Chain A
Amino acid sequence: MILSIYHEIVKLTSQKKHYIMLLGFAFLMVLMVFLFRHIHEDLEKQSGEMVGQMPLMLRLMAPDPVKLCDGLMFSRFTGYILFWVVMPIFAFMFAGESIAGEQQDGTLKVYLSRGFSRTRLVIAKFISVSLIILFYSMVFAALTMLIGITFFGFSKMQISLFWGNPGDPSTMTTVGLVSAKRAIWAYFASALYASFALSSISSVSFMISVFVKRMSVAATGGMVFFFVSFILQIVFARYATEIEPFLITRVMDGYSQVYALENIDWSSIVKSFAVMCLYWSVCVTVPVVMLNVKEY
């Protein structure tokens, strides 16, 4: 199995879409630095006014709010866009490539004609996609923090944010202060959590990829599923209570929890992991069955 996973990783990492990923990430960084610089300037202009509006505790602990808007804050802020929008697209691309891409170029047929275990092949493919997502999640998280600190410096105190879910009235957005060390831990823990969530999100494309012969179709199918789930969860959650707990976007709920590292609602985390396991098991079992019975 280890040899199979290694081969799958070699195959995936040889593709040119990695350059697209790196370019996409670089473009996001440029945009975010530009945006954050403007936020920084605005904060400097409104500093006195803002301090007056801050809660008393926060005012005592952090008399200069501009300093709170540092590189670590930049990376935590950017992380949301990175893991909610950019990384899912990359994850769909890799998962879609895994089986459909090989059907498209004929290499899957070469492999299958040799009588190798198809079950092992599917599992190795999925594990390799998950490992690549994990690798890029952690590397991009580290690079984002490095870029943030380079451009916006580093503060010993950090704002602790817990983003409430707009579709869930029981969650509220709360603000507090934590040490930088704790914030760094929270940041990387949330990146790790996001990589798990992305792995289960990408499994939808992985499952579709066994039915189609084009990687683009599998990737697009996964994206459509993800964004429809997103709209359902955000806009129509109250009208779709039966299916809402099983939406693929639910797995990202835990990201906010881990992001704050405070007052973690463990039952929510467990629910998110349960949904992840549901998608993992269904979206890997179906390709295993299909690859074993389908004719090529």
Chain B
Amino acid sequence: MSDYVLTVENVVKSFGKFRALDGASLAIPKGCIFGIIGPNGAGKSTLLRIVTSLAHPDSGRVTVNGIDVETNPKKALKGTGAIVDSPSFFPDLSARLNLDILSRGTGARYRKRRDELAEYTGIAGWLNHRVREFSLGMKQRLAITLALLPDSEFVILDEPTNGLDPSGIVDIRNLIRNLGAELGTTVLVTSHMLGEIEKICSNIAILNHGKIAADGTMEEILRRSPVTLIRTTEPDRAEAVLKEKFGTRILSVKAKEDAPGVLRVETESECAAELNEALVKNGFAVSMLENEPDRLEKLFLELTGGESVVRNEVRA
């Protein structure tokens, strides 16, 4: 049995002359919350459509639980629930009927799980209401419930916080985080909101121009070039001292343009404590020392050449 829920190997997909996916490869380990982030047009939706057999790759291979999606979609996607694009339901039917029809669930066991999941996602009191009466946030909750039915172990959510108000974003974010922690579900989330991905996901992949520019655990990704911000007296002399003491372990040191007196120190590995010790021992007063926030954003901009993304500011 494979350790990976989803593997994507060298997938190429073109629409006319436009190459939406250009040899994309990634693997999603079981039990993680995996985020795919990329600018608009990077190929996120195309990749999800191929994974869910809504589109066919020109070349390459996609497997879910080790089963090829292209040759055996029914078996491969049996334990997979996906909401690609915005959540769509039959507006004149109740939430309960929507869940029953779209998940094709039947029997007492299914009904018990449906009601439990509805309780879990906070829509239990709305099951008999028509979907027409639902807000977008409620529809997202319903979509997540549907994705988990009848027995999904792998859930794919395409931009799940899109269009939600700040409190709705926090609710959905917490819900997705809990899916992995409490239900053991593997979740694949796409977003163009860096903040959301950073807060929700344990693993990420950055997709750009149809290629995976970087992927791994959040720690691995952020550890690629840790940056420490240091506010100290005499920043010019401090820069020289740090370069001398740390040599090649320091990749770059420069004054932060928008914050006078602050040095931006990029290092090979995490060494904030050592930097502090070296400066204090050499008689510098360190009034601030912190890891640079928005490192993911910076990394993303580096990898994608600065294409537009949204830095989401909603706090949990």
A residues touching B (Cβ–Cβ < 8 Å)?
3-4, 7, 10-11, 14-16, 105-107, 109-117, 295-296
Contact = CB atoms under 8 A, between A and B. Distances in A.
A115 B74 contact: yes
B92 interface: yes
B54 interface: yes
A242 B308 CA distance: 62
Contacts of B54: 109, 112-113, 295-296
Nearest to B88: A106
Contact of B53 (A4, A14, A16, A112): A112
Nearest to B89: A107
A107 B89 CA distance: 6
Smallest CB-CB A-B distances: 3 pairs: A115-B77, A106-B88, A113-B52
Nearest to B54: A296
A105 B88 contact: yes
B55 interface: yes
A14 B74 contact: no
Contacts of A109: 54, 84-85, 88
Interface of B: 49, 52-56, 73-78, 80-93, 97, 100-104, 106, 146
18 contacts: A7-B100, A11-B93, A11-B101, A14-B97, A105-B88, A106-B85, A107-B88, A107-B90, A109-B54, A109-B84, A110-B88, A113-B84, A114-B77, A115-B52, A115-B76, A115-B77, A115-B78, A117-B74
B132 to A, nearest CB: 11
A7 B92 contact: no
Contact of B92 (A16, A110, A111, A114): A16
A215 B80 CA distance: 29
Given A113-B82, A113-B84, A11 B53 contact: no
A112 B51 CA distance: 12
Contacts of A7: 100-101, 104
Of A14, A105, A114, A117, the most chain B CB neighbours within 10 A belong to A114
Nearest to B83: A110
Nearest to B48: A113
A11 B90 contact: yes
A115 B106 contact: no
A105 B86 CA distance: 10
Contacts of B55: 295-296
Nearest to A295: B55
Given A113-B84, A115-B73, A10 B92 contact: no
Contacts of A117: 74
